[in-house]
Amino acid sequence: MPRPRNRGEALEIDQSGPLASAPPRPPEDWPAENLAAQYDAIRHVTEALCEPLAIEDYVVQSMPDASPVKWHLAHTAWFFETFVLARYLPGYQPFHPLFGFLFNSYYEAAGPRWSRPQRGLLSRPTVAEVYRYRAHVDRHMDELFGPHHAAELRRAASTVILGLHHEQQHQELILTDLKHAWSANPMHPVYKEALADDSSLPATRRAFFPEGLVLIGHDGDGFGFDNEFPRHRVFLKEFELATGLVTNAQYLAFMADGGYRRPELWLSDGWAVVQARNWDAPLYWEQDGEQWFAITLSGRRPLVAGQPVCHVSYYEADAFARWAGARLPSEAEWETAAAIGTLAGNFLDSGRFHPACSPSADDRGPCHQMYGDVWQWTASPYVGYPGYQPPRGALGEYNGKFMCNQFVLRGASCVTPRSHARRTYRNFFPADARWQFTGLRLAYDPK
């Protein structure tokens, strides 16, 4: 099925290129014989994404929250080395004694680590050495996938799968951080030429959802991160959801109406950020005379009115919604809407749906643009679900320790690997983060 063409910023990344070679969503029981193929495919995508880069592009770090491409490449190798090879492949020797220190991201249990804001200070190891590191890890993973280590692989399998999803997260981050690094460069490098925007989307309307107890969270069928569990009941009041995303044109109207100058539209923290950082438009937007431009991975380009607004913070999404007489959806509301048509029985009382949201297949659900354009801010602070338990050991730091001062984003963006997106996925960022591909969808209280 062809993906809709209208994605954020005029098809920043043609995912039918490198990302399309990523594996489809792993089946419930990842057969061991498939794991090697999945591994090869996903690891290959990561390197294919870097093909347009010069050596210099791998090195720079444009802010503490972003990382150099070189670091992403090495860190994802480190993940397999540390959590898979060192634990499960007998006799494995680390590639370099310092790499465990240099490429640990934030795992306290995995020992000390190089300071995050200083990742851009390291000219060595060189890019070539990092690729050798990856090759070294890949060779040993091959060995683990081989006939002599079936028992080890069985024990390692769930961590290997986690490592692949982790690698996919960093595929998105490579492009996200590269875009940020390049955005500061007046030479406006181009990652890939933009495609023509031949999309036509249905007009946005409101889909109605009745009140009731819903089941939220991963059902255990296929891979899910720890924070998607446990599946649990939530009581929802009736609500409405916009069928499409907020567009650049709508956001320009908010700006023209003084959106960035009216404190009554903003959370107190948000207003403080607007003033301290002199925000007056989404990240990467620049005005030239009357025309607005956006820095994209295809260079600096005129803003397209009908495309989803992107690179807005939670504060901006929240202020826009207030201005529009709406609000942001909760993550339970978003997930409920996403479930319609794809998962029978999601609603405990499914008999009461409004005709407008009768269950239908994926892209024929009540709402569109759920995945593949922009991550969508929800009104839900990122906390554990009732009964949430992090995994034991170092991997317990994967999601649980960030459950504070962040907001949940749902959906998936135009740089998310397609096989990485799912209905129960909980992305999360602080309220002031804008360098991710983030936009919004409006929700309403009926009446």
What residues between 281 and 320 interact with its own copies by CB under 8 A?
314-315, 318
> Which pair of tokens denotes residue 292?
């607005």
Which of 379, 412, 415, 440 touches its own copies by CB under 8 A? 379
Distance of CA 369 to the CA centre of its chain: 15
213 binds its own copies (CB under 8 A): yes
**Cβ-contact 243, 341 below 8 angstroms:** no
Burial (CB count within 10 angstroms: exposed 0-12, middle 13-18, buried 19+), residue 153: buried
217 binds its own copies (CB under 8 A): no
Which of 122, 194, 253, 343 touches its own copies by CB under 8 A? 122
Nearer CB in complex with its own copies: 106/349: 106
Torsions phi, psi for 86 (to 5 deg): -65, -25
- As a whole number of angstroms, the distance between CA 113 and CA 116 comes to 8
Which of 241, 409, 431, 440 touches its own copies by CB under 8 A? 431
Binding mask 183-202 for its own copies (x = CB under 8 A): -xxxx-x-------------
349 binds its own copies (CB under 8 A): no
257 binds its own copies (CB under 8 A): no
Nearer CB in complex with its own copies: 164/175: 175
Stretch that binds its own copies, among 51-59, 72-80, 132-140, 202-210 (CB under 8 A): 51-59
- As a whole number of angstroms, the distance between CA 188 and CA 356 comes to 45
- As a whole number of angstroms, the distance between CA 23 and CA 42 comes to 7
Which of 208, 403, 422, 444 touches its own copies by CB under 8 A? 403
Strands (E), 289-390: 291-296, 299-302, 375-381
Considering only CA atoms, which of 134, 145, 81, 143 is closest in space to residue 107? 81
- Kindly state the smallest distance separating residue 48's Cβ from its own copies, in Å: 19
User: At what angle are helices 127-145 and 150-183 packed, to 10 degrees?
Assistant: 150
268 binds its own copies (CB under 8 A): yes
Is the torsion defined by CA of 114, 117, 119, 123 positive or negative? Answer: negative
Bridge partners (DSSP) listed for residue 427 = 409
55 binds its own copies (CB under 8 A): yes
Nearer CB in complex with its own copies: 189/222: 189
- In the complex, which residues of this chain contact its own copies (CB under 8 A)? 54-62, 70, 98, 101-102, 106, 108-109, 114, 118, 120-127, 181-182, 184-187, 189, 213, 232-237, 263-264, 266-271, 314-315, 318, 330, 379-381, 383, 386-387, 396-397, 401-405, 431, 445
